[in-house]
Amino acid sequence: MNILVINAGSSSLKYQIINILSQQVLAKGLAERIGIEGGRIKHQYATNEGFGEYILEENLPEHATAFEAITGLLTHPDFGVIENPESIKAIGHRVVHGGEKFTKTQIITPEVKEAIKTLIPLAPLHNPANLIGIEASEKFFPNAVQVAVFDTAFFATLPEHAYRYAIPKKFYTDNSIRVYGFHGTSHKFVYNEAKKILKNDHLKAITIHLGNGASMAAVNENGESIDTTLGFGPLCGLAMGTRSGDIDPSVIFYMVEELGFSLQEVKNILNKESGMLGLGGSSDARDINEKCEQGDADAKLTLELYTYRIKKYIGSYFAALNGIDTIIFTAGLGENDAVVRSWSCKNLEALGIKLDEEANVKFNHTKVPVEIQAPESKVKILIIPTNEELEIAQQTYELIK
């Protein structure tokens, strides 16, 4: 069965076709600059030698136009991989926010779409684009079953003492203000992969997703997330590429009341000008590492703060889980930054956590799951490349098979 996976952003659309039985990627691509001059689709298709590539450059005034072009590429006689749209039996859509309503993967109905609309205030940048992607795919693949996979669903198991904030109850009951968590599809995927690798169906794990956005999750022996660093929105917890992570709310009041910034300006600073960018001058960890090697004090502080936050949450989640079996690093930095992994695991021997520094460097940029703990480490330390598209395809298949 071929499943099409869609991840629609406000001006982009990522896609993959996966044969779910063989788990082979038949085609993948990215449509960029939708609604902006200079649209472009990078389309890759499976060949006997690997992947061929075709670049389509044309204006894409809306998502429907992009979907039409992608459909043409997927069915093209030279670089297509399906005969016609009817070859796709199901389409799995990444939907960022499911609120408290959607705690599991759902077949998309008019009622589900309407409910996703009502959640737009909780994810104003993402849910509208996700909906547009759904409606465009319904137009060009009318016979396929449309399925929504929610990023927040993995955190539906958080206990109330973990997802509630210590503010008046009415803000939860009337306004749905609570911890929702994000990157759930990635956390779930790497946790399930770790169970296979370690041959243990009852792992206690800390999953660490380090991309431009970053989050951690505590997962108990039943595979249930019991805590996570991201909350009502994607700003708290770890320091990130451009986001501040945890900050005393008093700083925000001070910036507004004493320094004269508007709330919109503060929001922009904390979301787009902080994190690695604000501390070290670049949101790209490769630049920060290079500056650090050259003796730049700001870059060194950036890495120290970034990894210290990770260590603090490792300790916190170790306590919440009453011990752990494994730590899992994933996503851009988690998979490809040996310095971040090394500094994050330093001086944790008291918790039974010790990294093998040689293995950490040797297996940087790994394409397959690997163990990088020292022989005497009581806790397994894994690098597992995330694959959110495969997780979405698998959840879609499980729902409709």
Q: Is 171 among the domain residues?
A: no
Structure confidence at residue 233 (pLDDT): 87
Measured between alpha carbons, how far is residue 148 from residues 8, 89, 279, 396 in Å? 12, 14, 37, 8
Quick one: pLDDT band at residue 153, thresholds 50, 70, 90? very high
In 152-224, at which residue ranges do the beta strands (DSSP E only) sit? 205-210, 214-219
Structure confidence at residue 35 (pLDDT): 86
The helix or strand, by DSSP H or E, that contains position 279, with its residue range, turns out to be helix 275-280
Q: Is 281 among the domain residues?
A: yes
91 touches 74 (CB < 8 A)? no
Quick one: pLDDT band at residue 128, thresholds 50, 70, 90? confident
Measured between alpha carbons, how far is residue 209 from residues 47, 90, 183, 282, 314 in Å? 31, 28, 8, 20, 13
Do 17 and 120 belong to one domain? yes
Do 146 and 206 belong to one domain? no
Do 33 and 134 belong to one domain? yes
Q: Is 156 among the domain residues?
A: no
**Measuring CA to CA, which residue among 68, 148, 58 is closest to residue 110?**
148
Amino acid code (one letter) for 42: K
Do 135 and 263 belong to one domain? no
Indicate the SS3 state at residue 269. Answer: helix
Structure confidence at residue 351 (pLDDT): 97
* Range picked from 45-49, 99-103, 196-200 for highest mean pLDDT: 196-200
Structure confidence at residue 90 (pLDDT): 95
pLDDT digits (tens, 9 = 90+) for 284-296: 899 999 999 999 9
pLDDT > 90 fraction of the chain, expressed in percent and rounded: 81
pTM of the predicted structure, to 2 decimals: 0.91
pLDDT higher than threshold 80 for residue 125 = no
In 96-234, at which residue ranges do the beta strands (DSSP E only) sit? 106-107, 145-150, 205-210, 214-219, 225-228
Token representation of residue 250 = 């008093």
Domain with residue 318: its CATH number is 3.30.420.40
pLDDT higher than threshold 90 for residue 8 = no
Do 311 and 243 belong to one domain? yes
The reply, when asked if residue 78 is annotated as ligand binding, is no
Task: Using the 3D structure, point to which of 117, 150, 183 is the last residue of a domain.
Answer: 150
Q: Is 166 among the domain residues?
A: no
Mean pLDDT over residues 1-27, rounded?
A: 90
Nearest-5° Cα angle at 387, 51 to 364? 85
Do 212 and 306 belong to one domain? yes
pLDDT higher than threshold 90 for residue 11 = no
The reply, when asked if residue 323 is annotated as ligand binding, is no
Do 118 and 247 belong to one domain? no
Q: Is 78 among the domain residues?
A: yes
**Range with lowest mean pLDDT among 71-85, 165-179, 301-315, 339-353:** 71-85
Mean pLDDT over residues 59-68, rounded?
A: 89
Indicate which residues carry an active-site annotation.
151
Do 251 and 357 belong to one domain? yes
Structure confidence at residue 127 (pLDDT): 87
Total count of domains within the chain: 2
Residue numbers of the domain that contains 121: 2-150
Quick one: pLDDT band at residue 64, thresholds 50, 70, 90? confident
At 126, give phi and psi (nearest 5°). -110, -50
Structure confidence at residue 126 (pLDDT): 81
Q: How far apart (Å, rounded) are the C-alpha atoms in residues 122 and 152?
A: 11
Q: How far apart (Å, rounded) are the C-alpha atoms in residues 26 and 17?
A: 5
Quick one: pLDDT band at residue 49, thresholds 50, 70, 90? confident
pLDDT higher than threshold 80 for residue 267 = yes
Task: Using the 3D structure, point to which of 90, 118, 150 is the last residue of a domain.
Answer: 150
**DSSP of 309-361, one letter per residue?**
HHHHHHHHHHHHHTS-SEEEEEHHHHHH-HHHHHHHHTT-GGGT--B-HHHHH
Indicate the SS3 state at residue 369. Answer: coil
Do 287 and 378 belong to one domain? yes
The reply, when asked if residue 336 is annotated as ligand binding, is yes
Mean pLDDT over residues 179-196, rounded?
A: 95
Q: How far apart (Å, rounded) are the C-alpha atoms in residues 105 and 94?
A: 10
The reply, when asked if residue 364 is annotated as ligand binding, is no
Do 46 and 137 belong to one domain? yes
Q: How far apart (Å, rounded) are the C-alpha atoms in residues 367 and 113?
A: 36
Q: Which residue has the higher pLDDT, 216 or 126?
A: 216
Mean pLDDT over residues 331-351, rounded?
A: 96
- The pLDDT mean for the chain works out to 94
pLDDT digits (tens, 9 = 90+) for 223-252: 999 999 999 988 999 999 999 999 999 999
Residues belonging to the chain: 401
Indicate the SS3 state at residue 50. Answer: strand
Structure confidence at residue 383 (pLDDT): 98
Do 235 and 381 belong to one domain? yes
Structure confidence at residue 6 (pLDDT): 92
The reply, when asked if residue 241 is annotated as ligand binding, is no
Structure confidence at residue 63 (pLDDT): 87
Per-residue b or e along 185-201, where b marks 16 or more CB atoms closer than 10 Å to that residue's CB = bbbbbbbbbbbebbeee
Token representation of residue 129 = 């684009």
Q: Is 381 among the domain residues?
A: yes
Structure confidence at residue 96 (pLDDT): 87
Mean pLDDT over residues 193-221, rounded?
A: 96
Mean pLDDT over residues 189-216, rounded?
A: 96
Per-residue b or e along 215-243, where b marks 16 or more CB atoms closer than 10 Å to that residue's CB = bbbbbbeebebbbbbbbeebbbbbbbbbb
Task: Using the 3D structure, point to which of 150, 179, 213 is the last residue of a domain.
Answer: 150
Quick one: pLDDT band at residue 212, thresholds 50, 70, 90? confident
Q: Is 135 among the domain residues?
A: yes
The reply, when asked if residue 333 is annotated as ligand binding, is yes
Do 130 and 62 belong to one domain? yes
Q: Is 23 among the domain residues?
A: yes
